Amino acid sequence: MSEKYVYSLKEGDGDQRLLLGGKGANLCRMVQSGLPVPPGFILTTEVCREYMRNPGIMDTVWPDVKRYVAELEKETGKGFNDAKNPLLVSVRSGAPISMPGMMETILNLGLNDQTVQGLAASSGNKRFAFDSYRRFIQMFGNVVDEVDIGLFEGALANCRKAAGVEQDYQIPAEALEKLIVEYKVIYKKATGRDFPVDPWEQLRRAIEAVFKSWNIPRAVTYRKINKIDDSLGTAVNVISMIFGNLGDDCGTGVCFTRNPSTGENKLYGEFLINAQGEDVVAGIRTPMPISQLETAMPDIYKELCRLTKQLENAYREMQDIEFTIERGKLFLLQTRAGKRTAAAAVKVAMDMVSEGLIDTKTAVTRVSPEQVEQLLHRQVDKSAPQDEIAVGLPASPGAGAGMLVFSADEAEEWAHQGKAVILCRPETSPDDIHGLFAANGVVTSRGGMTSHAAVVARGMGKPAVCGCEEATIDLDAETLTTRGRTFRKGDTVTIDGSSGRVLAGEAKMIDAEFSDDFKKLLSWADEAAKQQVWANADTPEDARRAREFGAKGVGLCRTEHMFMGVDRLPVMQRLIVALKDSGEGQEERQDALAKLKVMQKEDFIGIFRAMDGLPVIVRLLDPPLHEFLPKEPNVLEELAALEKAGKGASAEAEALRTTLDRIHQLHESNPMLGFRGCRLGMIYPEIYEMQINAIFEAVAELTQAGVTVKPEVMIPLVGTRAEMRFFREMADRIAEEVMRTTGVKFTYLVGTMIEVPRAALVADQLAEYAQFFSCGTNDLTQTTFGYSRDDAEGKFLFQYIDKGVFKENPFSELDRDGVGGLVKLAVEKGRSVNPNLSVGICGEHGGNPASIAFCCSVGLNYVSCSPFRVPVARIAAAQAALGVLK
């Protein structure tokens, strides 16, 4: 740990985000650029990390805190605990990676019964002073001592009622004085002690509370959702207070340099006259659009436009800025990269390239893989009938449908049960983060476009309708009442975050379409990437969709799926029953093989035609044969019915008995490690011969028709040189026969999957015969860990994640050390024999951004994923190549 624990805003380096936190680093940069920022200082993230291990570090740091407070007193001309001209400060968190609203903040710190009188006198506004004091007691009590905020809010509601007013800012000073007395009683009853009056005690306890807030549940949940390292810690920013609630020449607001929903290059945001910042972001009052500031305070608006543009140009990024106006003077309290929707991210990136602010490579890094996934979200079909029940602000675009729930906990619980839910609240708070994550969308009756619900929903890609004031949301009755109708918990509604509408029932949805801007961005991504993105496609329709999404080939065509059609499965079952070791059933076997070959050839022709000019890897039959047979209980039930009907001796019954015998013969204790993959092809070579013939006959037919076909035959589950040699020789022999009989010359490759550890260990031996490798990381993960995926995920895997054994599910994100180590070994050993060996990945990990980054680091030629994840993978591959995704 370094010896310097505290930095003033004049000392800190704007590039020291890991040390000073994002908020602190940005404030330092703004101060040193001459922007109007209130003075303050920062306790570093190192102090936080040490505090988690040893709270006694505060004794070491405290003399520095006192010294920097003394500097604040000099800068502001005010005194900490000065009864006549008190210095008040805010104590706020600031993580290295933005976590908006997830940790704690305390405002107006330094107030007590004496300093509040000094604040009243120095400001000339008694009501303001006592309003600030009651806010401080409530915030300090809740954040530092965990006093139930509902107790304070209840007393505040009673105060409003007694005063005969509707809004907090209408409560007179005398009523606020009485409320403060009541607040102190609430605090003492809850904690057993008096409210602290010493500002130094207040400051120390507030700083410690903000450090502790790094590990409060909502912060932990947010980091888990956004994959932020738990070890980073938070800085603490102690900043002199600027007041937006001194009168009508004061105000507070939040603005974005561009529209975070659409990306439009226009100042966007909201503000309130005579208010503190918490009033805007908490959704307590519905604020005014930032455009109205031009009328209310024209000079301030002009200066705000100039400063926000200056910040955007300096950071070359869209900014989210908090500001306060005190006595007609503008102060900037924070700037950070603005959270935005996926569509806005694309537009902002493309516009900034056009404006010369960033280059095309930077533009590719500005749209995350998760945002690309959001662009695939469906929208409400405006041409279909709709039952509109309310309209609010279009706070976060997209559409979602689900059953109404009125608490974040219930949203999470119902979602875990597989139910689609819409979270319905008067407003949301940071503590609702888990419910927002679980829900398909959120609707609130209060709050604006920069309220907590709006900002978090946009960051998560969830649709949101906020400030829906015509709706009454009753949390006790769990009802939403609007336009004379009442909707209860469990009723289905649809929210259209793009238009701000709430609809009864489940509205018809349509698939999203890619904009020209997004297509252009993806083309830039392809230019930056070092590896291609292919797709897993089992049908011509899959192949066409994959190509539309930009796939450069088919990395996995699973032939077993072709046998599962209603017209094909009976033929496959006939074949399996006819495959007897005794050699019986040859005629039946050949007849079934001939029929299946015709079907397979038709499928291959469709896929090869759809991928004209691009490579297609066809995996030969992989699953164990028993998967194609009917389930034993079903056969027994049919057989019993025939016997009951007196048809036990019929040909139909005899056929069922034969099938039952075959089911018993093929039964395995552990099918995943049993008679499947290339082992089937070794024992029943006629199956693989039929498939290879179908592939090459399709290639010859299409080649004659002028279609460019690039077939690659993949042998599954190979683990020995002898297996690979056997199937390479089989493929070469059949290819030669097809070329001779058709008179058509074509090229092809034969390769294998790397999906058992031994294949990676002897990859150099396999490369003597294999012309490509495809890492099947689904099975490789199972065989490396010795886990059955279904059993592991159902029994213990998620508990392992909770206990910290794994950070992520290894079946979703590649285990780099173990499974990844085998992949790397296979690449190195294979290319030691054939330097030009093509190696890819075709497991589920091929669409996972973090796994794609690993694949890039070990030199894979391509990743293959489902067609719908191709755009996600294209962006991820580019960001991996650019070093953004690691």
273-287, 311-325, 537-551, 726-740 — which is least confidently predicted? 273-287
- 381-391 pLDDT, tens digit per residue, is 877 889 999 99
> What is each CA distance from 119 to 89, 132, 245, 248, in whole angstroms?
13, 9, 13, 18
- 742-767 pLDDT, tens digit per residue, is 999 999 999 999 999 999 999 999 99
763 closest CA partner among 754, 775, 751: 754
Q: Span 215-237, mean pLDDT?
A: 92
Average pLDDT value for the chain: 92
> What is each CA distance from 177 to 130, 134, 152, 182, 691, in whole angstroms?
6, 8, 14, 9, 86
- 608-622 pLDDT, tens digit per residue, is 999 999 999 999 999
- What is the pTM (predicted TM-score) of this model? 0.80
b/e code 634-670 from CB counts within 10 Å (16+ = b): ebeebbeebeeeeeeeeeebeebeebbebbeebeeee
pLDDT band at residue 281 using 50, 70 and 90 as cut-offs: low
238-252, 593-607, 786-800 — which is least confidently predicted? 786-800
Between residues 637 and 882, which one has the greater pLDDT?
A: 882
Q: Span 680-709, mean pLDDT?
A: 96
What is the pLDDT, as a whole number, of residue 619?
96
pLDDT band at residue 396 using 50, 70 and 90 as cut-offs: confident
Q: Span 140-167, mean pLDDT?
A: 94
% of the chain exceeding 70 in pLDDT: 98
Task: Classify residue 676 by burial, with Cβ atoms within 10 Å: 0-12, 13-18, 19+.
Answer: buried
So which residues are the catalytic ones? 452, 842
Q: Span 776-797, mean pLDDT?
A: 89
> What is each CA distance from 477 to 415, 436, 471, 489, 494, in whole angstroms?
21, 21, 14, 9, 21
Which tokens sit at 749?
């490759």
- 48-80 pLDDT, tens digit per residue, is 999 999 999 999 999 999 999 999 999 999 999
Q: What dihedral do alpha carbons 192, 195, 199, 200 form, nearest 10°? A: 0
- Return d(Cα 251, Cα 258) in angstroms, integer: 21
Which tokens sit at 20?
């000073």
pLDDT band at residue 151 using 50, 70 and 90 as cut-offs: very high
Does residue 344 contact residue 48 with C-beta atoms inside 8 Å? Answer: no
Bridge-partner residues for 823, per DSSP? none
- 550-595 pLDDT, tens digit per residue, is 999 999 999 887 777 677 777 777 777 777 644 555 778 888 889 8
Model confidence at 332: pLDDT above 70: yes
